[in-house]
Amino acid sequence: MAHEGDDGVVRVLFVCLGNICRSPMAEGVLAKMVADQGMSDRVVVDSAGTGHWHIGKRPDPRAIAAAAKHGVELPSRARQIDPAKDYGSPEDGGWDYIIALDEDHVRHIKRQGGPMERVKLLRSFDPKANGSLEVADPYYGDDAGFDRCYEEVEAGCEGLMGTIVDD
């Protein structure tokens, strides 16, 4: 498997702005894929936000509803990135993959001194992504925006899962 730490576990962290829409959706989708492959003991998935506004809150109800349509649960609670913990080496419990949902998140991680060699955009794993590799923020939109977000997240997670398994 790809980039596994000394313990043989691959760690994946999804990052968005508030950690209530896109990143918990990606966390839930990949966690389900991992469980369906029988790999829950070898792949750890989490999510975090660049901002502090929603710390401790559950995902947006629209994100929960969009994921539920596909049998995906979103059990996480929002947290903010902790550079000291999250950017550490995988051997020390840091993340093998830090997956940003848009370019603003990549810039934020870079400004914090994040390990850019481990930072990727989620849609960079989607071979069918055309144009922008960003997952649009559905927060200020309608339910249809959350459904589109789910589709983009799922396609990116499928590619990411393939990378984790194949490398």
Which residues carry out catalysis? 16, 22, 137
Strand ranges inside the chain, DSSP E: 10-16, 43-49, 97-100, 119-121
Q: Give CA–CA dist 7/66, Å, rounded.
A: 34
Asked if 26 contacts 157 with a C-beta cutoff of 8 angstroms, the reply is yes
How far is the C-alpha of 41 from the C-alpha of 100, rounded, in Å?
A: 24
Q: Do 74 and 25 touch, CB atoms closer than 8 A?
A: yes
String of DSSP letters for 47-74: EEESSSTTTTPPPPHHHHHHHHTTT---
Six token digits for residue 44 = 């750890």
Residue 160: both structure tokens together: 């990411």
In the three-class reduction of DSSP (H, G, I as helix; E, B as strand; rest coil), residue 152 is classed as helix
